[in-house]
Amino acid sequence: MSGPARVRAVLAADGPDRLILRAAVVVLGGGATTVAVIAGGTARPTGQALLLLLTVAAALVPDSLLPAALTTGVVLFWGATVPRPTGPEDLILPGVAALLLLGLQLAAAALGVWPPGARVPPSARRRWMRHGLAIAAGTVAVTGFAAALMAARLPGDAVASIAALVAVAGGGIAAYRLITR
Amino acid sequence: MTRGDHPRPWEPTAALVGALLVTLAVLPLGLLTRRPDLVLLIVPAASLATWGLATRPRTEPSVSTRIGPTVVAEGGAVGWHAYVTAPTGAHDVAAVIAPTAYIFGSPRDSALAANLPAVTGTAVPVELGTTLVATRWGRHEVGAAILAVTSALGTFRWTPRQLPDATIIVLPGKESFATRTTMPHPRGIVGGNRSTRRGEGSDFAAVRPYGPGDRLSRIDWRLSTRTGVLQVAAMHADLDTEVMLVVDAFHDLGTSGGVTGPASSLDTAVRAATALAEHYLRVGERVGLLVLGVSGVAPVRPHAGRMQFRRIQDSLATIRPGSVRGSEDRATAALLARIRLGATVLVLTPGISAAALGRASALTASGLTVLVIDTLPRAATRADRLERADLEAIAPFTDHRDLAATRLAWRVRLLEREAQLRRLRESGLPVVSWVGPGSLDDVLRQLRRRARAPHLVRR
């Protein structure tokens, strides 16, 4: 079997539902990178190329840690290229990027649920949409809350920062206990 | 109904582990660098992880499978069904059925998915089901499958060990066959073949004077009046014949494409044997079966009746070619020694095993009526036109460079085969190719004529 024929056979065996989800990973990963570039104001070809590679890899092997690596890559790229936000309006683009990353993670998770060739039941598709929209609504709410806090110009507090870090550590331990129970 | 073995717990998926790692790596970074935008970027990952952990199923699902019917004809459908009872928090179930040679479903029928409804009180099993088509006779292990149940957002997965398969017996399909020519050596008690001796039959033999024991209904009144002596019409007896089908399964040559595709030599032999058995049992003959070249297939002794057809089909379905141990000739001789005198022997062979052809010749010499039916696929007789896959089916390569050598070797083997078949024909053993209905008419007619002629027999 020739190369293109083999690729066509693999794509056909994957099924249209999974192909759409793979395409969603590529589009949403590329979209998140593009938003980061727009927010940073300057192109970073090396970083963008690395993120593009990670995006393609995540689409090819979605049931792995590659989607998480892509998310981490986008966040690091963002932290390195985008200046610190100074006003509530600076949180609009992070909110948009967060929604794109949400779509990417959901698509990658869904690809790990349904095997190649399977038809995704419509009821399952609706439930995933409902859950995704709920998380998206939560993300928008958190973005709005963060914007409100920035607008209020509350002073920083070392105790609050330490408490937040302790909470993150506690959350990590709790998650570990829940998984290994 | 088969219950799957499933001692495994729910396990976190890569999606959950990834979301947790991203959250735990980036959140402190955002807090330490006072970057609310970085924290915002991982809100979805944190939400996904929290949701998954909060709704993790507490108990294990139960799975059972049902595969059937366990006996089907070629081209028949086999149903595969899994019943999953899942606990609260389990949302999706998917299964992939392992492919089996000659048991086909479309790729989309081998991967199944279903939505688990939210459990409200009593859990109702969810059914995953598909239909597979059995395309070739034989015994097949069908339905081994991997199943996975996942929780909300694909964060936890439960997978039992491989779901068990089931043995499906696919009975050989019948090629269309019919013949109006009767058998040459009827030696039974009652049947449809005209015997050479007189008796209660339907074919007129002669007119003779009335004797004690003659039926009154046989008296020819017109002739009796004319001659003044009672005359009766003597008839030929109608007797049955013992037909012994001998399938040469030492080799299976050619590509088998199932019931709708090309037929290998053994496909042709098995389907032809089924058709012959059905035909001769229907007309009242006693039919038996011997399979050469396989172990584990017991000879089927000649009997008449419907059950005999099923016995023969069952035996044919268990053939695994070339599974006999020891010398071909000894195995063949031991089996053919079971054939009783007076039987008509139909040998279905691709003509490659010298032992089978040699023993068929010996049977003829011992006075049996033997007919060799050539089952080698026509495509396999043209060595120069065989594709790589065809040659691979005849003799599996160990090296890609074997192609030319295999083609040459096959050509030489075909020449030897032709010479062997020619010698058989010259010694008076008829050899015909199987072409379905009417394949045997001419040769059976010749055998009948020859049976009536006096001839020498070496015993």
Across-strand partners of B150?
A: B92, B157
Q: State the helix-helix crossing angle for B43-54 and A158-180, rounded to 10 degrees.
A: 40
Rounded to an integer, what is the distance from CA B297 to the centroid of its chain?
A: 13
ipTM: 0.91
Note which residues in 23-42 of chain B have CB less than 8 A from chain A.
23-29, 31-42
pLDDT at B364: 85
Pairwise CB contact (< 8 Å): B154 & A110: yes
Structure tokens at B220: 């020819």
Q: Residue A151's Cα: distance from chain center in Å? A: 26
Report residue B117 as tokens.
């409804």
| Interchain CB distance below 8 Å, B48 and A106 | yes
Contacting B residues, span 114-143, partner chain A, CB-CB under 8 Å: 114-115
The CATH architecture assigned to B2-7+57-171 reads Sandwich (2.60)
Separation CA B447–CA B184 (nearest Å):
6
Mean local confidence (pLDDT), B302-325: 87
pLDDT value for B4: 47
Query: What number is the average pLDDT over the span B14-36?
Result: 92
What is the band of B311 on the pLDDT scale with cuts at 50, 70, 90?
A: very high
Cα end-to-end span (Å), chain A: 48
| B152 contact residues in A (CB cutoff 8 A) | 131
Residue A102: alpha-carbon gap to chain centroid: 4
Cβ-Cβ contacts under 8 Å, A151 against chain B: none
pLDDT score of B188: 56
pLDDT, tens digit, 9 for 90 and up, residues B233-278: 877 666 668 899 999 988 888 888 888 888 889 999 999 999 899 9
pLDDT in the model for residue A43: 85
Which of A113, A128, A168 has its CB closest to that of B94?
Answer: A113
Q: Which residues pair with B303 in a beta bridge?
A: B287
The residues pairing with B193 across neighbouring beta strands, listed in sequence order, are B239
B345 contacts B246 by C-beta, under 8 angstroms: yes
Q: Is the pLDDT of residue B448 over 70?
A: no
| Chain segment B45-72, per-residue pLDDT in tens | 999 999 999 999 988 898 999 998 999 9
pLDDT at B326: 66
- The domains of chain B are located at 2-7+57-171, 11-54, 193-239, 242-452
- Record the tokens describing residue B152, joined without a space: 């909300």
**Furthest-apart CA atoms within chain A: distance in Å:** 66
- The CA distance from B35 to the nearest CA of chain A, in Å, is 6
* Residue-wise pLDDT tens digits, B153-207: 999 999 988 898 999 999 998 766 666 666 666 555 555 566 666 666 666 777 8
Task: Please answer yes or no on whether B37 and A179 come within 8 Å at the CB atom.
Answer: no
Residue environment code for B403-422, b if the CB has 16+ CB neighbours within 10 A, otherwise e: eeebbeebeeebeebeebbe
- Work out the number of other CB atoms within 10 angstroms of the CB of residue B257: 14
Considering CB atoms only, which of B27, B43, B114 is closest to A121? B114
CA dist A27 and A56 (Å) reads 10
What token pair was written down for B450? 């020859």
The residues in A 37-56 lying below 8 A from B, measured between CB atoms, are: none
Out of A71, A119, A178, the one facing B113 most closely (by C-beta) is: A119
- Contacts of B108 by beta carbon, 8 Å cutoff, 6+ apart: A15, A117, A118, A119
Encode pLDDT of B352-378 as tens digits: 888 888 888 888 888 888 899 999 988
Q: What is the pLDDT of residue B191?
A: 59
Q: Mind listing the pLDDT tens digit for each residue in B386-424?
A: 777 777 777 776 776 677 888 888 888 889 999 999 998
pLDDT digits (tens, 9 = 90+) for B134-149: 999 999 999 899 999 9
Residue B6 has pLDDT above 90, yes or no: no
pLDDT of residue B83: 92
Beta carbons of B128 and B84 less than 8 angstroms apart: yes
Cβ atoms B36, A85 nearer than 8 A? yes
Among candidates A65, A90, A115 on the partner chain, residue whose Cβ is nearest the Cβ of B18:
A65
pLDDT for res B192: 58
Rounded mean pLDDT of chain B?
83
Mutation target vs A (from B13, B16, B24, B41; most A CBs, 10 A cutoff): B41
Q: Copy the structure tokens of residue B15.
A: 């999606």
Angle between helices B14-32 and B43-54 (to 10 degrees): 130
Residue-level pLDDT at B217: 82
- Model confidence band, residue B107 (pLDDT cutoffs 50, 70, 90): low
Q: CATH code for B242-452?
A: 3.40.50
Determine which helix (DSSP H) or strand (DSSP E) holds B456, and give its type and residue range: none
Tokens of A97: 């990027």
Q: What are phi and psi of B242, to 5 degrees?
A: -95, 120
Nearest CB to B44 within list A69, A105, A128: A105
Question: How many contacts, defined by CB atoms under 8 Å, are there between A and B?
Answer: 190
The C-alpha atoms of residue B247 and residue B393 are separated, in whole angstroms, by 20
pLDDT per 10-residue tile (average), chain A, 181 residues: 75 88 96 95 91 95 95 95 92 96 97 91 94 94 92 81 83 78 66
- Of B36 and B355, the one with more pLDDT: B36
A49 to chain B, minimum CA–CA distance in Å?
20
Rounded to whole angstroms, the Cα distance separating A124 from A130 reads 10
Q: Which of residues 100-159 of A touch B (CB under 8 A)?
A: 101-102, 105-106, 108-110, 112-121, 123-124, 127-128, 131, 135-136, 138-139, 142-143, 146, 149-150, 156
CB of B20 less than 8 A from some CB of A = yes
B95: chain A residues, CB-CB within 8 Å = 115
Given phi > 0 = left and psi -120 to 50 = alpha, else beta, which region is B91? alpha
**Tokens found for residue B439:** 């394949």
pLDDT of residue A77: 96
Residue B217 DSSP class: G
- Sequence-distant (6+) residues with CB within 8 A of B262 are B254, B255, B256, B377, B379
Identity of the highest mean pLDDT range in A108-117, A146-155, B287-296, B335-344: A108-117
> The tokens 């003829």 sit on which residue?
B364
